[in-house]
């Protein structure tokens, strides 16, 4: 039986706060559909106090901004992007194209075609998330997307130079200093100055996530996203200090970021709670981490490792960090998570910033049905067919006629009849010409 030492706020309170977000986002999208660039500029002025002559950076402007980035930052960006690129290439190599002959003269095939235009949203605001440029743009380019539009907001009226450098080095074809719902809507529906894209990827705040949700179907999206989540799984050998540090590392993302500990040790649970209370007051990001832990932090104590993994799967969280004696056991026991981080030497922050796997991951239980952003998200797996053998054409034509008429699809049946007639001379009694 699980014992809960710390509860989160009721879900009803979280749901109520989303209602206003949905309404606001719907109004902004509708306005941008109607007024295009004029509306985009108005919302950028309102929300970001940003209204340059052009939201899109020219090649010359990008060059100057990139040149202003310190060499160490520049080198670090290149290193991390190479890790992301390497992993994405391995993913691409794992995707097979094939053509098989299922009957004599009947060839069926599969190939992967990249979307022709993708939008990459790189969050800004309080945090210039340069890593999101690596995850969205580099991965799209490895997939072969010919046009990648990248948007990021200004930060307090200033250009986020490191983020622009990351976007440029990742291979963005267009770089726009534009944020929030107005950026997502502009990429999705197009404006006078921006052509629309086919798919939008990247994390963002509640308004950005809701904009993607409302526009899904008109355009593709990577996944439905919510606040960052971390689930730490610990046994009696886990270090409570490490547990506390890693829980708070994700809580600082925002005041609504869930951070949860499940452990088989009550002692580890109690010491982790104490360590959180000791560390939290001195965190520079306490204004986000404190309400996140207060309102969305949880601590569960279970009796066995089996219960630990069963409860972890029920959460279906974005990040799952496994601090147990046998961390790789999670690969066998768990099926519902965005990404696993195995052992004390592997923290969630590695995945967020440097290791090479993609950090755009499912939240709010979406791990029950999807994984995170990967190179395949930018690819359309399509099929093709070719029938060159006349015997096969006759066989399939007659079969199609019978099968279609069972379903009362006379038009389909006639298409099959014609192939049988051309290949084997079958009569067409319905053709009076």
Pairwise CA distance, residues 372 & 389, whole Å: 43
Q: CB-hemisphere CA count at 13 Å for 327?
A: 18
Pairwise CA distance, residues 341 & 351, whole Å: 8
The strand pairing partners of 155, in sequence order, are 158
SS3 359: coil
* Catalytic entry in 319, 321, 344, 359: 319
Q: CB-hemisphere CA count at 13 Å for 98?
A: 6
The strand pairing partners of 387, in sequence order, are 106
Active site residue 112: no
Phi, psi dihedral angles at 322 (to 5 degrees)? -110, 105
* Catalytic entry in 229, 275, 318, 321: 318
130-160 b/e (C-beta count within 10 Å ≥ 16 → b): bbbbbbbbbbbbbbebebbbbbbbbbeeebb
SS3 55: coil
Q: Considering only CA atoms, which of 228, 258, 199, 231 is closest in space to residue 362?
A: 228
Token digits of residue 248:
């708070």
Residue 342 CB: number of other CB atoms within 10 A? 17
Answer yes or no: are the C-beta atoms of 88 and 186 closer than 8 Å. Answer: no
Answer yes or no: are the C-beta atoms of 75 and 208 closer than 8 Å. Answer: no
Query: Residues for the chain: how many in total?
Result: 433
Q: Which run of H or E residues covers position 231?
A: strand 230-234
Answer yes or no: are the C-beta atoms of 209 and 53 closer than 8 Å. Answer: no
Answer yes or no: are the C-beta atoms of 31 and 39 closer than 8 Å. Answer: yes
Q: What is the CA radius of gyration of the chain?
A: 26
Eight-state DSSP code of residue 136? I
Strands (E), 3-74: 3-6
Eight-state DSSP code of residue 134? I
Token digits of residue 426:
């079958």
Active site residue 319: yes
Pairwise CA distance, residues 263 & 238, whole Å: 9
Instruction: List, by residue number, the catalytic residues.
Output: 318-319
């Amino acid at each position: 039986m699980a014992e809960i030492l710390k509860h989160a706020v009721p879900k009803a309170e979280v749901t109520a706060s989303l209602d206003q977000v949905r309404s606001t986002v719907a109004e902004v999208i509708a306005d941008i559909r109607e007024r295009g660039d004029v509306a985009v500029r108005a919302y950028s002025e309102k929300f970001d106090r940003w209204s340059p002559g052009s939201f899109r950076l020219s090649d010359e402007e990008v060059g100057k901004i990139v040149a202003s980035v310190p060499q160490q930052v520049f080198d670090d960006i290149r290193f991390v992007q190479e890790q992301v690129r390497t992993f994405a290439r391995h993913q691409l190599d794992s995707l097979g194209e094939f053509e098989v002959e299922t009957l004599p003269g009947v060839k069926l095939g599969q190939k992967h075609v990249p979307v022709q235009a993708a939008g990459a949203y790189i969050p800004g605001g309080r945090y210039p998330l340069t890593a999101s440029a690596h995850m969205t743009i580099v991965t799209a380019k490895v997939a072969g997307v010919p046009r990648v539009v990248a948007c990021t907001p200004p930060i307090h009226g200033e250009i986020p130079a490191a983020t622009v450098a990351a976007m440029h080095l990742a291979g963005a074809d267009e770089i726009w200093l534009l944020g929030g719902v107005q950026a997502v809507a502009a990429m999705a529906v197009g404006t006078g100055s921006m052509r629309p894209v086919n798919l939008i990827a990247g994390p963002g705040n509640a308004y950005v996530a809701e904009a993607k949700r409302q526009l899904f179907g008109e355009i593709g999206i990577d996944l439905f996203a919510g606040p960052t989540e971390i689930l730490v799984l610990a046994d009696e050998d886990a270090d409570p200090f490490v547990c506390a540090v890693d829980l708070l590392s994700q809580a600082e993302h925002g005041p609504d970021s869930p951070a949860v500990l499940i452990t088989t040790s009550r002692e580890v649970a109690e010491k982790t709670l104490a360590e959180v209370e000791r560390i939290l007051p001195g965190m520079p990001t306490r204004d986000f981490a404190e309400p996140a832990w207060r309102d969305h932090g949880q601590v569960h104590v279970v009796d066995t490792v089996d219960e630990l993994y069963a409860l972890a799967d029920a959460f279906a969280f974005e990040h799952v960090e496994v601090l147990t004696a046998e961390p790789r056991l999670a690969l066998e026991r768990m099926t519902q998570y965005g990404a696993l981080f195995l052992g004390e030497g592997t923290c969630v922050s590695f995945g967020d910033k440097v290791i090479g796997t993609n950090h755009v991951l499912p939240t709010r239980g979406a791990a029950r049905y999807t994984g995170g952003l990967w190179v395949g998200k930018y690819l359309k797996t399509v099929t093709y067919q070719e029938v060159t053998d006349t015997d096969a054409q006759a066989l399939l034509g007659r079969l199609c006629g019978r099968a279609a008429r069972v379903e009362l699809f006379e038009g389909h049946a006639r298409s099959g009849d014609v192939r049988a007639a051309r290949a084997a001379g079958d009569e067409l009694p319905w053709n009076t010409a």
